[in-house]
């Protein structure tokens, strides 16, 4: 599933051949996926699959608030890329994003309706859809895009449940469309150096790894302006466990050849109580009524520890 974007040369032999009826296509795809779910039989091995390259890759970006502008900045400077469409439900963010393309050859169409992302996925002049919306939207957008012949680059995490993971796998296998989770930590200098050392045998046989993303999200979570609709804070109240594991798990999975010879088998996870977030929400609510709806929420724990066992009997602690 994880495939490098070599020069963003993602393409497919049948790009732009989406169904004329989005509903009938999605209905048929859903029925096929339900049948596959009964058996979980691999339809096609996407590991190592490479779609034919395109001279020009036509890109659409869903979400131009927090992460979208970074993609715009990078993509506008890559030869052979044309940014065709931008989508965000906040018009001001959309226009700010397009302003970043001033003086370039890119002139994307702008979409701001709540369901306009579907229209973008259904266009026949888009090759790659970049999904940078809140993470609970990632799977449905990625699946819809692949069902309409588009390759997908999804911000992390690409899915929020096991069922959503299966939806992504099965849709990619059925449609022969790339889905890359854009885990940037796999490509940072230290991580690449460590990967190179591991592949050269410097560490011997790697049978266990410890990884983490040790950072405080308190400032981000309680920011009024950083994220739309306080969605990050709401997720911390709605879910338990490690909500953001891929910064640590991604590089380690590459070193240990996960889905390239080994795979995750099962995990055991435990988290602490919350000792900070509700207290901080109450402190803010005492000064600002905006935070009162968050003052009595029950939040995920301050620390989460997970042990994963692989099919080959190796272990990873996150």
Residue 223: count of CB within 10 angstroms of its CB: 12
| pLDDT given for residue 29 in this prediction | 64
- Predicted confidence at residue 28, as pLDDT, reads 65
**What pLDDT score does 159 carry?**
96
Q: What CATH architecture is 6-182?
A: 3-Layer(aba) Sandwich (3.40)
Q: What are the residues whose beta carbons fall under 8 Å from the beta carbon of 75, sequence distance 6 or more?
A: 8, 59, 61, 81, 83, 130
Q: Beginning with the edge strand found earlier in the chain, give each strand of the sheet holding 81-87 in spatial order.
A: 109-111, 81-87, 57-62, 128-131, 151-154, 179-181
**Inter-residue contact 55 to 30 (CB < 8 Å):** no
Domain spanning 186-317: which CATH class is it, in words? Answer: alpha beta
Q: What is the mean pLDDT of each successive set of 10 residues along the chain, which is 318 residues long?
A: 30 32 55 62 88 96 96 96 98 97 97 97 98 97 98 97 94 97 97 98 97 92 95 96 94 96 96 97 98 97 96 98
3 state SS of 196: helix
Write down the pLDDT at residue 140.
98
pLDDT computed for residue 167 by the predictor: 95
Looking at residue 11, its pLDDT comes to 29
The full set of domain ranges for the chain reads 6-182, 186-317
Pairing state between β 264-271 and 304-310: antiparallel
Cβ proximity of 81 and 56 under 8 Å: yes
pLDDT the model gives residue 38: 63
Alpha-carbon dihedral angle through residues 59, 169, 5, 220, given to the nearest 10 degrees: 70
What is the DSSP track for 237-260? Answer: HH--S-S--HHHHHHHHHHTTBTT
Q: Distance between CA 90 and CA 61 in Å, rounded?
A: 14
Tell me, what's the pLDDT at 36? 56
Tell me if domain 6-182 and domain 186-317 are identical in fold: no
Q: What pLDDT, on a 0 to 100 scale, did the predictor assign at position 13?
A: 30
């Amino acid at each position: 599933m994880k495939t490098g974007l070599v020069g963003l040369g993602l393409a497919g032999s049948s790009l732009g051949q989406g169904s004329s009826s989005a509903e009938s296509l999605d209905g048929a795809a859903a029925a096929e996926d339900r049948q596959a779910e009964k058996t979980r039989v691999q339809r096609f091995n996407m590991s190592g699959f490479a779609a034919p390259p395109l001279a020009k890759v036509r890109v659409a970006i869903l979400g131009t608030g927090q992460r979208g502008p970074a993609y715009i900045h990078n993509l506008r400077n890559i030869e052979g890329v044309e940014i065709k469409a931008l989508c965000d439900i906040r018009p001001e963010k959309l226009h700010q994003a397009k302003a970043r393309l001033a003086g370039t050859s890119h002139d994307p169409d702008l979409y701001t309706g709540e369901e306009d992302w579907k229209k973008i996925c259904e266009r026949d002049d888009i090759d790659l859809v970049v999904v940078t919306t809140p993470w609970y939207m990632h799977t449905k957008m990625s699946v819809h895009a692949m069902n309409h012949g588009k390759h997908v680059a999804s911000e992390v995490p690409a899915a929020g449940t096991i069922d959503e993971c299966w939806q992504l796998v099965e849709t990619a296998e059925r449609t022969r469309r790339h889905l890359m989770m854009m885990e940037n930590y796999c490509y940072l200098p230290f991580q690449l150096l460590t990967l190179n050392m591991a592949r050269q045998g410097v560490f011997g046989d790697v049978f266990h790894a410890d990884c983490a993303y040790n950072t405080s999200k308190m400032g981000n979570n309680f920011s009024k302006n950083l994220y739309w609709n306080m969605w990050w804070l709401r997720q911390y109240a709605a879910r338990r466990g490690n909500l953001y594991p891929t910064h640590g798990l991604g590089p380690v999975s590459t070193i240990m050849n996960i889905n390239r010879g080994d795979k995750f088998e099962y995990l055991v996870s435990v988290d602490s109580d919350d000792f900070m977030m509700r207290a901080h929400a109450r402190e803010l609510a005492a000064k600002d009524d905006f935070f009162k709806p968050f003052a009595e929420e029950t939040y995920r724990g301050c620390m989460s520890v997970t042990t994963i066992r692989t099919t080959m009997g190796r272990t990873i602690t996150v």
